[in-house]
């Protein structure tokens, strides 16, 4: 990934936030047919060194778990806030007419080694934790639980999936959020994004500025 210094995301808490708040990621593997990508919701367990583990499950019918060997290098790509930024939103554009459109975004590349875990207890744990986490975000008065379904049905569904775990060896993150622009242009673009309903990207940009005010 091309990573200029001003877009290099080194804030551990921000990298972890991107992973947690955007759990659906692309698992990139190298198999017999070449590069492949599978899109999976991941569970993230950070470690003291800022790395940690990623856990997920795939359909048993998905050939990926048979095509990768335990310990193989893989990459998981998490994509967060993103959006178009118009040069019209920069005050300096109207003075010098020397601005162009751009696309702002946040991504994390998690490099690691994969382990396939075809183990019912492991898979049940992943499903239970992912369900609890994401049902909790629905705001429903009574979130769905695995115990709400027939036991035999759940057991059958669990047999149809296989667990994977990735030990993270390196995290590379990019926050391309107009950090190379004048502060007044960054503030104005942040305000415009918020007004256009792209709040997550506006919030991400605000977190990169010494003064998080969105007033130009």
Q: What is the pLDDT of residues 26-63, one digit of tens each?
A: 999 998 889 999 999 999 999 999 999 999 999 999 99
Q: With bands split at pLDDT 50, 70 and 90, how would you rate the model's confidence at 127?
A: very high
What share of the chain has pLDDT > 70, as a percent?
97
The mean per-residue pLDDT over the stretch 68-86 comes to: 97
Q: What is the pLDDT of residues 163-186, one digit of tens each?
A: 999 999 999 999 999 999 999 999
pTM of the model: 0.91
CATH topology of domain 5-87+103-180: Pnp Oxidase; Chain A (2.30.110)
Reported as type and span, the H/E element at residue 37 is: strand 34-41
Q: What are the C-alpha distances in Å from 18 to residues 13, 107, 146?
A: 9, 8, 27
The DSSP output letter for 202 is H
Q: Is 214 exposed, middle or buried (0-12, 13-18, 19+ CB in 10 A)?
A: buried
pLDDT score for 93:
77
Cβ-count burial 52-78 (b if 16+ within 10 Å, e if not): bbbbbbbeeeeebbeebeeeeebbbeb
Ranges of each domain in the chain: 5-87+103-180
């Amino acid at each position: 990934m091309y990573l200029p210094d001003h877009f290099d995301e080194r804030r551990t808490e921000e990298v972890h936030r991107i992973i947690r708040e955007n759990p659906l990621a692309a698992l990139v593997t190298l198999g017999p047919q070449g590069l492949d990508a599978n899109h999976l919701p991941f569970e993230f367990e950070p470690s003291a060194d800022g790395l940690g583990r990623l856990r997920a499950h795939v359909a048993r019918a998905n050939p990926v778990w048979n095509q990768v060997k335990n310990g193989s290098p893989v990459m998981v790509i998490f994509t967060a806030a993103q959006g178009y930024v118009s040069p019209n939103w920069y005050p300096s554009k109207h003075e010098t007419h020397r601005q162009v459109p751009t696309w702002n975004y946040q991504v994390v590349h998690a490099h690691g080694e994969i382990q396939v875990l075809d183990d019912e207890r492991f898979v049940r744990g992943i499903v239970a934790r992912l369900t609890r986490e994401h049902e909790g975000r629905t705001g429903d008065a009574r979130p769905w639980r695995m115990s709400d379904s027939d036991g035999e049905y759940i057991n059958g569904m669990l047999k149809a999936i296989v667990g994977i775990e990735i030990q993270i060896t390196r995290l590379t993150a990019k926050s391309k959020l107009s950090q190379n622009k004048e502060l007044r242009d960054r503030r104005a673009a942040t305000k415009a994004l918020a007004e256009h309903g792209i709040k997550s990207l506006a919030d991400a940009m605000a977190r990169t500025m010494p003064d998080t005010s969105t007033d130009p």
